[in-house]
Structure formats: C-alpha cells, structure tokens
Structure 1
Amino acid sequence: MREPASGLDRRLVLLMMLGSILNPINSTIIAVALIPIGAAFGAPPSRTAWLVSALYLATALGQPVVGRLIDLYGPRRLFLISTGLVGVAGIAGTLAPDFGVLIAARVVLGFGTCAGYPAAMALLRREAERTGRDSPAGVLAALAVANQTIAVVGPLLGGLLIGLGGWRATFAVNIPLSVLAVTLGALRLPKERGTGRGEAGADRSSPAARIDLARIDLARIDLARVDLARIDLAGMGLFAAMLVALLLFLMDPHPAAWYLPVLTVALGAAFTVRELRAATPFIDLRVLGGNLPLVATYGRSLVAYVVSYAFLYGFTQWTEEGYGLSPLGAGLVQIPMFLVGIGLSVTIGRRPGVRSKLLLGGAGQLAACALMLALTAASPLWMLVAVSVLFGVPQGANSLGLQNAVYFQADPERIGSSAGLLRTFGYLGSIVASAATAASFGRHASTGGMHHLAWIMLGAAVLFLIVTLFDRSLRRVAAS
C-alpha cells in the first residue's frame, strides 16, 4: 500500500536508483575491460574505443525518444521493455564470437539503458504533484549517490570479474541486473490509467466493467500505434549519420578524410531543417531555442562529460598499458574518485544551490587535469591516487548541479524528455571523449598520448568554468 499523499512513495526510490545505474555500471566496468578485450581480438585502443562510442551513440539517440514516450504514456511500459533489452545485450556480449557482435551488443545495451533516468525524473515529478511537495533535493541526491556508489563498484567489480571469468563476465553481469529490474518494475511501477482499475476505478469483478476496461485498453493501444508511427525516423537517421561521420573523422583524423567534416556539417544542416519542419521532431529545436538557460545546462553537460569520461577511459587504459597495473589495480586506483564523489554528494546534496556546485566542480576539473600533465610512467602510485581524489570533486558536484538545474529549468510537462536530453548531451560528450582518447593513443596507451589527452581535457575544463561563471541565469535557479 502506498504512503499517504503527504509523503513520497519510498518503494519507488529503489527502483529509480536501479534504473539509473544501469548505464554507469556498464560505463565503469568496460573501462577496465578494454585492454583485455583488445588483446583477445587483436584490436588496438583506437578500435576498442568503438565499444564506448557504440553504447553512447545508441543512448544519445534513444534518450530523447524514450523520454518523450515516458511523458506521453508514463514510465512503466518503457522501463520494462528497456531493462529487458539490457538482459538481451548481456547474453549477446557474453557469447559474442567476434568483435563486431560485441559492438552490436553494446548498441543494444545503449538502447536498453535509455529509460532508467527519464523514468526516475518522471516518477519524481509525478510524486511531487501527488504529494504537493516540490522539494526533490533529497531524492535527487539519492540518485546521484546511487550512481556514484555503483561507479565505485564498477571498476573494482570489473577487475574482479575479469580475474575470475575473463572479460566476458563483464557482459554477463547484465543478465541478473535485467531480471531484477524487470521484476521490481512489474511489481512496483504504477500502472497507467486504463490498465489498472480503469478511469473511474471500476470493479474488475463486474463483466461490464471488464468489457469497458478492454475497450479502454484497446483504444490506448491504437493511440500508441498512431503516435509511434509519427516518431521522427528521418530526424533520428540524420542525427545518427551526423554523429557517425563526425566520429569516423575524430577517431582517425587525416587529410584524406577531408570529406567527413564536410559531410558532418551538411548532415547537421539537414537535421536542423528537418527538425524545424517536423510535426513531432526527434529533438524539438524550437523548445530549446525558447529556453536558453536549459540549452546552457545541456552545453555544460557535454563539456563536463568530455572531461570525466576521457579520464575514466583514457586514464584507466594508461594505468594498465602505460603504467603497468593489472585490470584490478586500475580499478582500485579509480575508487578514491568515486568515494570522494559520494562524500561530496551526501554533504552538499540537500542544498538547493546550483551555481556553487558547478563552480566547485569546474575548479576540481582544472586541478585534476593539471596534475595529469605531471604524471609519467615513473611517478609514484600516490600521485595516481591524488589525481583520482581530485577528480572526485567534479564527479560529485557536477552531477548534482546539472540534474538540479534541469529539474527546475525544464517544462514540467516535458520532464522525461528534458532529462533524456541532459543524458543525450552528456553522452555526446562521452563520444567526444572516446574519440579524443582514440586519437591521442593510436595503437598504444602511452604516456605521451595520456599527456595529449590531458591537454584536451584541460581545454574543456576551462570552457566549462568560463560558461558557468558568466551564466547569470544560474543565480535564479533555486539558491546559488
């Protein structure tokens, strides 16, 4: 039985956390598995980077669509379907006979993790309306801590799984996670109107009531089919083609590939024209254009993820190949970052300020990137740990600041799709980070390549801090 309308339905919080961690756990586990996978298939870092990009490309495409469908139909159906795909991807990755199937499994995994975060934000908004208490700071902090906690477990779990069962075990872990998510979702997610007791709470024991409910359900199914048929497939295709063209160039930039940047710009222009004309656009550019503070938040998310994921993937590969640590050792080095992030999230999570959190995160990024430039293969281990500790500051502060900003800046009727877009822009940053890592390392994760990557990260960190300092709209988001 639910709690009275005076309080949040606490049964949903665990489900929100579970759905939202499916993506970060796969992000952090794969970070320590890239070198072993490369060794198994003879793939250099420039090629294994596609395992990262494939997941984020799929998620960047799927998040806005799934988020909008959650706005229209509620989270239940989309959550159950998406988390079911996570299990399918886990099976495919575990049994993958070649590198191409492994990339395909990561694509399916990307689509499977699309619903967790938008569903959590939609449930939170629904509960705020039900209880009349629009004070989500505690639950938003809990979501951030859950993501930080699983990120702590990810690298260590990845190292342990690789030691026990090889890199395939890092895919197999998705199977029980999927079963748990689908089971809890089926038990705890509220049924949408027309699928439970009916619009007026009719008695299901009555034959007439059962007939009426059947009619309502059929009507909803027909409506779903009509709306799904109107999904902007052309916009999605142009968006995907634009990202792939950009990635192909960033992964291996050379003069002979001059046509790829030109193709990227042309596809971007076509995508813009399409979205401005589409009745139901994939990304509603008009809505974004009318909410510049939200656009600025999305831009900050992109830049922040460039820094954090370049560290997660690039630095981890260097600690294994360039510094000589085992996958388990590389995972252990990452733990201080996530522990600091958790501690910071718990400390400042309930405070409503947004600007102060982002400024703190920006300063932490600058300090950590500067220290990366001082590292060599002969550096003492404590210096690697110090870098990890410094990166814990933006890990905790930026995630809180960005999701709090979206919650207050977005249209309440579009909170699912707005939250999805936040993750989309973050995933675009992750794709850029993956491409930067591939371009910096080439065939080997050397110290020189790590320094090259650190300069790219430092430039992104400076941009993040400048944009935050001069964004006056942040002063009006709750209290800064």
Structure 2
Amino acid sequence: MLAASGLLVSLVQTMVVPLLPRFPELLSVSPSTASWLVTANLVAGAVSAPVLGRLGDMYGKRRMLLVALGLVGVGSLLGAVAPGIGLLLVARVLQGAAFGVIALGMSLMRDVLPPERIGSGVGLMSSSLGFGGAIGLPITGVVAQLGSWRWLFAGAAVIAVVQILLVRRLVPESRLRSGGRFDAVGAVGVGLALVCLLLAISKGDAWGWASPTVLGLLGATVVLTLVTGRYELRVRRPLIDLRVSARPAVLLTNLASVLTGFAMFAGFILTIQILQAPVGTGYGFGLPLVIAGLVLLPMGGAMVALSSVSARLSRLRGPRTTLVAGTVVLAVGNVGLALLPGSVWLLMLASTVAAIGAALAYSAIPLAIMRAVPESETAAANSLNTLARQLGTSSCAAVVAAVTSAFVLDGGAFPQGAAYTIAFAAAGAAALVATVLVALTPEPLTVGPTAEPVAGRV
C-alpha cells in the first residue's frame, strides 16, 4: 500500500508536463504563465517535504502521510473544477504535498516492517516512482486525446481518496515519536531559501541566468541558508538537524543523490522528446505521444523488476555497494543515449539500461540514509534526501532547457542532435561523479533510536 502511493506521486508530478504546449490555448494564458503549473508544484513540494517529515517524526508518520494524501486529494479535486489559471495554480500547490509521501512511507517501513523486509519494501517504493513516471506519459496522452484534461485531476482525486481509505485500514502507525516543539522559525527559513533556490533554477533559462532577478534569488538563497543554518545549530529540536546531516555518511549520500537525480531525470524528459521529434531532424522518430509513452514502459517495468534485486544486493553487500553499481549502470545508459541510437529498439535498450541503474541507485539511497541516522530522525532525514534528489531533477530540467534552446535547427522549432548529446553526456558525467562520492562515503556508525516508543495503533 505504501509503495502504491509512489505511483500517485509520479502521476501528480508528470500529469501536466505533456500538456504544457496546449495549456496556453486551453486556459488563454501565455506559455510562461502556463509553465508555473510545473514550477508551483515543484516549489510547494520542496517546502512541504521537510515540514511533513519533521511532523511525522514528532506526531506520527502514518498521521502525516494521511495529511499529505488529503492535501493531494483536495488539490486534485480543485484542479478538476478550476475555472482558470489562478485556482489551477492553487491546486498544483496543494498537490505539492505529494513530495512528502515518499519519505514518510519509507520511514514508516523502517518502523513497522520486519528487518528482513525493509530493503525490499523501500526498493519497491523507490521503483514505483520510476514506473509511475513511465506510465504517466501515455496515460496523459490517452486522456488528453479522448477527453478533457480535467479528468486527469479528477482521476488523481479518486486515487488519493482510495489510498487514504486503504492506508487507514492496512497501514499501522509507528510507535516511535521524537516529541518536542515544532521549529516554526526554521521551517520559514528553510522554506524561503528553497523557494529562492528553486525559482532561480527552474526559471533561470526563461528569465536569464545573469538577470538581476535570478542573481538576486541566488544571493538571497545564500544569505537565508547561512542565517537559518546558524539558527538550526542553536535550537534544541531543529527542523533539520545539521549535525546529523553533516555526518560524512549522510552528507556524501545526499550530494550523490543530487547527481543521481540529475542523471536519472535526463532519460525521462529527453527520451520522450526524441521519440516524438520529426524524422527530418536526423535523430527523431516522429511517434505520437501515446506510442512514445508505450515505448518507455520497459523503463518503468525494469525499475519495478529490479527493486527486489536491489534489496537482495543491499542485504548481502550493503546499500553502498548497490548504490555504486547503480550509478555506474546509470552512467553507461546515459552514454548510450548520448550516441543518439538510430532505431527505436536501440533507444529503448539504452533508456532501459539507464532505468536499471536508476532503480538500483534509488532503492539503495534511502537504506543508506536510514543506516546513518537515529530511528527518530528517519522521516526528516528521508525528506531531506528526497529534497536532494528533487534538486537534482530540477537542475537537470534547467540544464536541458538551456542546452536545447542554445542548439536549435534552422527555424528554431526543434533542438539539434548535439543538444541531446551534450545533455546526456552531462548526465553520464553526473552519475560517474556520484559513483566517486559514494565510493568515498565511510560506513556509518551504528545508530539507535533516540525516542521512546509511545502508545499507537499496531
């Protein structure tokens, strides 16, 4: 049930992406305004994830998971009936609470599953993200062709309600609580810093990387990070425990997570573009959106199939070994994609190899984090790691936008093949750097719970 929630997260994230070119006409807005449907969801999710994670450690992970699913359901229902772009943006902000679902679910697994099942459970939940992203594109295409885009939001609302009912019935609450008072000041500081950073990254290409707005946002990010970091070191129960986060096993894993997110996301956003690009570009295959989405299904299937393999390898050799193997395979897949395969089958093969690497890496990352932090910090630590991966995917989207707009064919309608080669090569390099960081990561010291169990539903 917890792993199934990863599908909802992926669907919510990807449901509007294929329709962005159509939203300006459908909603009578400019393309730059329509792009906020992605940006608003990204920023809201990045801010809500650490907040929900800390509240989960304090008051119950299952309780906060239900809150997050409830916000997603309300936002989806609001999007289905939104008369214009204003209310639709509010809906996308509420849907951003989905970002906290993954970290809460993984942390809940650590608390309620037998030790021998934690690895396979976390691996399945991680792989559900990739599978959800793979099936989200063809689903979006079918719904957009056969009916209104509002059915996408209505469907997400129904799924959220069903998941709330099933989580209430099937998922027990964790007996671990950290207690204490919520760090509201830290939440505001961290939230503002993330808003500034993600706005600069996601809008840098549109606003200009050297524009006063982007430079001001980056400067504000630095100032807010330093001020908030100093405050977090002084408060008794901070939103983000920087002392725990600064442990080499945690810090290097989070840095590797940023690079892994970058390397993984390139395949998701670029492969579908290559499949749909006209044959005349020299690299495209001219497939419609639905068919292109079906070609990507092996990517999602590979991620689900490899989840059990990843768990077994992590159990035998440790998550660090699995993470190294995953980043190496991810690098190989991106190099294959950088060569711009000349057939759909070769492109499918290269993208599936990259997906296998992503499955191994994404399944091992949460296990590595949970081994390095106390049990009472798992939700907050996993939320921070989820944010690290999201920073990687956001950075990848920004780099891809910059490269594809810099290298365009005559007429400016489609990028040159060199743009895809550069983007995939950058993703491969990011995976290799992540491999080095993971290899340098020391084995964490054994940590135990820092909170007493409290009465709860079992």
Superposition TM-score tier, normalisation by shorter sequence: 0.7 to 0.9
Which residue of 1 is the match for residue 256 of structure 2? 300
Q: Are 1:118 and 2:86 matched, yes or no? A: no
Q: Over alpha carbons, which structure has the higher Rg?
A: 1
What is the CA–CA distance in structure 1 between the aligned matches of 2:116 and 2:353, rounded to whole Å? 33
Residue-by-residue CA offset, 1:163-189 (whole Å, 9 max, x unaligned) = 222433332221111110222233344
Match of 2:196 among 227, 238, 241: 241
- The one-letter code matched in structure 1 to 2:399 is A
Distance 1:346 1:68, change over 3 A: same
Q: Contact between 1:46 and 1:439, CA under 8 Å: does it hold in 2?
A: no
What is the CA–CA distance in structure 1 between the aligned matches of 2:18 and 2:344, rounded to whole Å? 18
Distance 1:168 1:158, change over 3 A: same
What is the CA–CA distance in structure 2 between the aligned matches of 1:52 and 1:321, rounded to whole Å? 22
Which residue of 2 is the match for residue 65 of structure 1? 51
Q: Are 1:361 and 2:323 matched, yes or no? A: no
- Segment drifting more, 341-350 vs 327-336: 341-350
Which residue of 2 is the match for residue 82 of structure 1? 68
Instruction: Look up the SS of the partner of 2:142 in the other structure.
Output: helix
Q: Contact between 1:242 and 1:268, CA under 8 Å: does it hold in 2?
A: no
Match of 2:396 among 407, 430, 433: 433
After the TM superposition, which residues 53-452 of structure 1 pair with which residues of structure 2 at under 5 Å, given as runs? 53-111=39-97, 113-128=98-113, 133=115, 136-190=118-172, 227=182, 232-249=187-204, 251-257=206-212, 258-289=215-246, 291-321=247-277, 323=284, 324-351=286-313, 352=315, 353-375=318-340, 379-442=342-405, 444-448=413-417, 449-452=419-422
Identify unmatched segments of 5+ residues in structure 2: 279-283, 406-411, 448-458
Distance 1:347 1:280, change over 3 A: closer
What is the CA–CA distance in structure 1 between the aligned matches of 2:109 and 2:17, rounded to whole Å? 31
Distance 1:433 1:99, change over 3 A: farther
What is the CA–CA distance in structure 1 between the aligned matches of 2:332 and 2:174, rounded to whole Å? 48
Deviation at 1:454, TM superposition (A): 2.2
Deviation at 1:236, TM superposition (A): 2.3
Which residue of 2 is the match for residue 20 of structure 1? 6
Instruction: Look up the SS of the partner of 1:32 in the other structure.
Output: coil
Residue-by-residue CA offset, 1:270-294 (whole Å, 9 max, x unaligned) = 33334334444332222212x2201
Which residue of 2 is the match for residue 464 of structure 1? 434
Q: Contact between 2:330 and 2:431, CA under 8 Å: does it hold in 1?
A: yes
Q: Contact between 1:231 and 1:280, CA under 8 Å: does it hold in 2?
A: no
Q: Contact between 2:257 and 2:388, CA under 8 Å: does it hold in 1?
A: yes
Q: Contact between 1:63 and 1:421, CA under 8 Å: does it hold in 2?
A: yes
After the TM superposition, which residues 2-41 of structure 1 pair with which residues of structure 2 at under 5 Å, given as runs? 14=1, 16-37=2-23, 40=26
- The one-letter code matched in structure 1 to 2:95 is L
Which residue of 1 is the match for residue 456 of structure 2? none
What is the CA–CA distance in structure 2 between the aligned matches of 1:345 and 1:476, rounded to whole Å? 25
What is the CA–CA distance in structure 1 between the aligned matches of 2:24 and 2:415, rounded to whole Å? 15
Distance 1:436 1:271, change over 3 A: farther
Deviation at 1:251, TM superposition (A): 4.7
Distance 1:447 1:386, change over 3 A: farther
Instruction: Look up the SS of the partner of 2:312 in the other structure.
Output: coil
Percent of pairs identical after alignment? 24
What is the CA–CA distance in structure 1 between the aligned matches of 2:254 and 2:446, rounded to whole Å? 17
- The one-letter code matched in structure 2 to 1:105 is A
Distance 1:268 1:247, change over 3 A: farther
Distance 1:431 1:43, change over 3 A: farther
Distance 1:117 1:260, change over 3 A: closer
Distance 1:389 1:186, change over 3 A: closer
Distance 1:325 1:135, change over 3 A: closer
What is the CA–CA distance in structure 2 between the aligned matches of 1:45 and 1:460, rounded to whole Å? 30
Distance 1:456 1:450, change over 3 A: same
Q: Contact between 1:64 and 1:421, CA under 8 Å: does it hold in 2?
A: yes
What is the CA–CA distance in structure 1 between the aligned matches of 2:122 and 2:296, rounded to whole Å? 24
What is the CA–CA distance in structure 1 between the aligned matches of 2:153 and 2:343, rounded to whole Å? 33
Q: Contact between 1:305 and 1:430, CA under 8 Å: does it hold in 2?
A: yes
Deviation at 1:302, TM superposition (A): 1.2
Deviation at 1:102, TM superposition (A): 3.7
Query: 1 or 2 for the larger relative contact order (CA 8 Å, sep ≥6)?
Result: 1
Identify unmatched segments of 5+ residues in structure 1: 1-13, 194-219
Deviation at 1:461, TM superposition (A): 2.0
Normalized against structure 2, the TM-score is what? 0.81
What is the CA–CA distance in structure 2 between the aligned matches of 1:445 and 1:306, rounded to whole Å? 22
Distance 1:100 1:458, change over 3 A: farther
What is the CA–CA distance in structure 1 between the aligned matches of 2:219 and 2:387, rounded to whole Å? 23
Deviation at 1:460, TM superposition (A): 1.5
How many residue pairs get aligned? The number is 427
